Amino acid sequence: MQRAIIYHHLGLGDQITCASIIHEYAKHYDVVDVVCKNRYYSTVKNLYNNSKISVLSFEDDPDVVNYIHTNSHLYDCIKQITCFGGPEHMNFEQRFYHAANVAFEKKWENFNVIRNIEHELQLMSKFTEIFDKPYKFVHHDPY
């Protein structure tokens, strides 16, 4: 059984950016472990509807490094992915994919989130209570 662990930046945005990388690795390994911070576990878990992908949660980076060091014998592939370095003409997302050796086009091809309409409506209701008037949700992407 081929097993990989993927360790990238632990921020929630980075988790979303790298989700397609994880799905791509799952095509080549029997088991892929992805790491996240404890506080993001349920959200990150929802990014993966694939029995080959397991989410391991940790308090912070030193805990991840310790886990990998202690358990390296369990893995055929240990991949640390960063957006630092890489070709200067690439934006940070492209650098993640470059570092993972995954084609950037896979970002869209591999990304799939199963919607939970009930949860979405609950969240929308909370915003309605907070703002008490119509609102717009805007996400700014400088790229």
Q: Greater confidence, 133 or 94?
A: 94
Residue 91 DSSP SS3 = coil
Instruction: Provide the pLDDT confidence category of residue 133 given band limits of 50, 70 and 90.
Output: confident
Helix (H) or strand (E) holding 71: helix 61-71
Write down the pLDDT at residue 142.
Answer: 57
Q: Which residues pair with 2 in a beta bridge?
A: none
Across-strand partners of 15? none
pLDDT digits (tens, 9 = 90+) for 8-63: 999 999 999 999 999 999 999 999 999 999 999 998 998 898 899 999 999 999 99
Tokens of 116: 């939970």
3-state secondary structure the chain: CCEEEEECCCCHHHHHHHHHHHHHHHCCCCEEEEEEEHHHHHHHHCCCCCCCEEEEEECCHHHHHHHHHHHHHHCCEEEECCCCCCCCCCCHHHHHHHHHCCCCCHHHHCCCCCCCHHHHHHHHHHHHHHHCCCCCCCCCCCC
Cβ 17 vs Cβ 90: under 8 Å = no
86 vs 141: which has the higher pLDDT? 86
